[in-house]
Chains A and B, each alone.
Chain A
Amino acid sequence: MKTITNIGKYFIMLRYVFSRPERFKIYKNRVFDEIEIIGLSSIPLVALLSGFMGAVMTLQTAANMDSPLLPIETIGYITRQTTILEFSPTVISLILAGKIGSNIASEVGTMRVTEQIDALEIMGVNSLGYLVLPKIIAGVLTFPFIIILSIATSLLGGLVAGVQSGLVTQEDYIKGLRYWFIPGDINYALVKAVVFAFIITSIASFYGYYTKGGALDVGKSSTQAVVFSSIAILVANFILTNLILL
């Protein structure tokens, strides 16, 4: 029951978030600030994770290729497919749901419990538009780049690990990367990135904005933001896969 009311409340919130901004210039500056917080600050983590995951994927694939019938290019091919289709868009988004989601929920939640949101409202500012819209825009704009970066570092990690371990040569790996490449897969990854960015930023803002109580409740909101945006990502992933790939 609570979940259903919350879903209703969430969509009502979105209506206010997307109502006309008071001051375009101020919103523009807010978007740039948020791009820094949401996007740029995630780059090191994403690059590190993706590099290592790509490396492990390549090693796992190579180590499990017992059959001599499988061409050696399969290693690069499988690393590429796994990275583009699921690892970079979905797994990285889930990880960022933890990092960015808890960050947004605790920031907005703190503003709620310290009455900063009330202060905005009293001035006649649309607090949802002012606080939440720039976060959503920044997320939706930066996630595709983050996911591309993740794909690139993952494939690079695979290359380095494969060649270093002597399981595959550079030529074979790259041949594998090019093998049967469907550009549509990249679009699929980017669509997922945009959708997941929207889910993370809006759901985390929702739990932050409707925090009631004090500092303890901010912690709770932040946990809920991570849990529910992760669930929403998994559900959306399932739906998108059905819609796009099948």
Chain B
Amino acid sequence: MIEVVGVNKHFGEAHVLRDINAKFSAGKVNLIIGASGSGKSVTAKCIVGLHEVDTGQILYDGRNFTEMERNDRKEIRKEIGMLFQGSALFDSLTVEQNVMFPLTMFTEMSREEMRERANFCLDRVNLNNKNHLLPAECSGGMQKRIGIARAIAMNPKYLFCDEPNSGLDPKTAIVIDNLIKEITYEYQMTTIVITHDMNSVIEIGDHIIFIHQGQKWWEGTKEEILKTDNQEINDFVYAADFMKEIKEMLGKH
């Protein structure tokens, strides 16, 4: 479980996160949703410590991450897998080497075992026979999937995915959503997914946090989000026509 307590974050004058409080439980897919620029990525980066928070605290299963020394933080980070919004693959390494990278750094596995593990992870994101390409030779969607494979390589306790299926075709997006759901339940991970894809929200949102202008505006489940009458949420959720239709259908029943 990850707890966020009273987090504030400024960039210069801009007050980007305003007193965020949230609990993300293990074995659940937690979503952070919100409009572009609302502060979703910054929230995730504050939680993993890539941005220092101005005030407030982050707790990983009760361990106070905010107060930790650099070296203690490293131990927690070895339990974190993260997919970045821009994939952030190492561009001098091949696909396979990218996925193997955390294994080579932190495990005692033999080369063969690492390769096996890398192939297993790549297989789970539907990527076969691309092992020897460089990231620059892969499409954006492929890079996303490699990023996910790398994030899950170490079997993390905490998984962060920043827009895992933006830029993917609907079919692959569903594969990725299902993968995230499966591994979260299977390994009882604490998973935090940032998204603005309503399909994912309906598909995998066990617990949803809606961020609006740097504030936690609403939180609830996927069932609740379809029924709420909060104006900002409805503007966000029913921006697409097909969602309006769903709402009408729900209304009739």
State the A residues within 8 Å of B (CB): 22-23, 26, 110-111, 114-116, 118-119, 121-126
B91, A116: Cβ atoms closer than 8 Å? yes
Residue-wise, chain B 15-31 has the 8 Å CB interface mask toward A (1 for contact) of 00000000000000000
A123, B86: Cβ atoms closer than 8 Å? no
CA distance A119 to B45 in the complex (A): 11
Chain A nearest Cβ from B19, distance in angstroms: 25
Q: Which of B45, B77, B85, B89 contacts A123 (CB 8 A)?
A: B77
A124, B77: Cβ atoms closer than 8 Å? yes
Q: Which of A22, A26, A116, A124 contacts B90 (CB 8 A)?
A: A116
A123, B84: Cβ atoms closer than 8 Å? no
B88, A114: Cβ atoms closer than 8 Å? yes
A123, B91: Cβ atoms closer than 8 Å? no
A116, B89: Cβ atoms closer than 8 Å? yes
Chain B contacts of A125 at CB under 8 A?
A: 105
Given contacts A22-B105, A23-B104, A23-B105, contact A121 B88 (CB under 8 A): no
Chain B nearest Cβ from A136, distance in angstroms: 18
User: Helix, strand, loop or mixed for chain B's interface?
Assistant: mixed
B88, A118: Cβ atoms closer than 8 Å? yes
Q: Which of B77, B101, B106 contacts A121 (CB 8 A)?
A: B77
Chain A contacts of B86 at CB under 8 A?
A: 114-115
Chain B nearest Cβ from A77, distance in angstroms: 47
Q: Which of B50, B75, B101, B102 contacts A118 (CB 8 A)?
A: B50
State the B residues within 8 Å of A (CB): 45, 48, 50, 74-75, 77-78, 80, 82, 84-86, 88-91, 101-102, 104-106, 154
25 A-B pairs with CB atoms under 8 Å apart are A22-B105, A22-B106, A23-B105, A110-B91, A114-B91, A115-B85, A118-B45, A118-B50, A118-B84, A118-B88, A119-B82, A119-B84, A119-B88, A121-B50, A121-B77, A122-B50, A122-B77, A122-B80, A123-B80, A123-B106, A123-B154, A124-B75, A124-B77, A124-B80, A124-B106
- 20 more contacts with CB within 8 A, not counting A115-B85, A116-B90, A119-B89, are A22-B106, A111-B90, A114-B91, A115-B88, A116-B88, A116-B89, A116-B91, A118-B84, A119-B84, A122-B50, A122-B80, A122-B82, A123-B78, A123-B80, A123-B101, A123-B154, A124-B78, A124-B80, A124-B105, A124-B106
CA distance A41 to B88 in the complex (A): 27
Chain A contacts of B84 at CB under 8 A?
A: 115, 118-119
Identify the interface centre among B80, B82, B88: most chain A CB within 10 Å of its CB.
B88
Chain A nearest Cβ from B27, distance in angstroms: 22
CA distance A26 to B84 in the complex (A): 24
CA distance A60 to B90 in the complex (A): 50
Chain A nearest Cβ from B158, distance in angstroms: 10
Chain A contacts of B82 at CB under 8 A?
A: 119, 122
Identify the interface centre among A118, A122, A126: most chain B CB within 10 Å of its CB.
A122
Chain A contacts of B104 at CB under 8 A?
A: 23, 26
B105, A119: Cβ atoms closer than 8 Å? no
CA distance A116 to B77 in the complex (A): 15
Q: Which residue on chain A has the smallest CB distance to residue B150?
A: A119
Q: Which residue on chain A has the smallest CB distance to residue B153?
A: A123
Q: Which residue on chain B has the smallest CB distance to residue A120?
A: B90
A119, B78: Cβ atoms closer than 8 Å? no
